[in-house]
Amino acid sequence: MTTVLKNDLLLRALRRQPVPRTPVWIMRQAGRYLPEYRAVREQAGDFMSLCSNPELACEVTLQPLRRFKLDAAILFSDILTIPDALGLELYFETGEGPKFRKPLRNSSDIRRIAPIDIESRLQYVFAAVALIRQQLAGEVPLIGFSGSPWTVATYMVEGGSSRDFPRTLGLAKEQPALLDELLSTLVSKTTNYLNAQIESGAQAIQIFDTWGGALEGDDYRRYSLEPMQRILDGLIRERDGHKVPVILFTKGAGERLATMADTGCDALGVDWTTTLAEARDYTADKVALQGNLNPAVLKESHTAIREGVAGVLASYGTGPGHVFNLGHGITPDVKPEHLGVLVDAVHELSPAYHSE
Residues ≥6 apart with Cβ < 8 Å to 219: 172
Distance, in Å, from the CA atom of 44 to the CA atom of 67, rounded to the nearest integer, reads 22
| Residue 78 is labelled as binding a ligand | yes
Task: Please identify every residue annotated as catalytic.
Answer: 28, 32, 41, 78, 155
Residue 32 is labelled as binding a ligand: yes
**Is the distance from CB of 208 to CB of 147 less than 8 angstroms?**
yes
Residue 109, marked binder:
no
d(CA 291, CA 346): 12
Beta strands 238-239 and 242-243: pairing type?
antiparallel
| Residue 191 known to bind ligand | no
Task: Establish whether 221 is an annotated binding residue.
Answer: no
DSSP 8-class letter at 222: I
CA 163 to chain centre: 20
Residue 328 marked ligand-binding:
yes
Is 133 annotated in some ligand binding site?
Answer: no
Cα separation, 6 vs 321, whole angstroms: 20
- Give the DSSP H or E segment for 74: strand 73-74
Strands (E), 102-235: 142-147, 204-209
For the four alpha carbons of 137, 82, 54 and 295, in that order, the dihedral sign comes to: negative
Concatenating the DSSP letter of every residue in 78-105 gives -TTHHHIIIII-EEEETTTEEEESS---
Residues within the annotated binding site? 28-32, 78, 155, 210, 328
Residues within the annotated binding site for substrate? 28-32, 78, 155, 210, 328
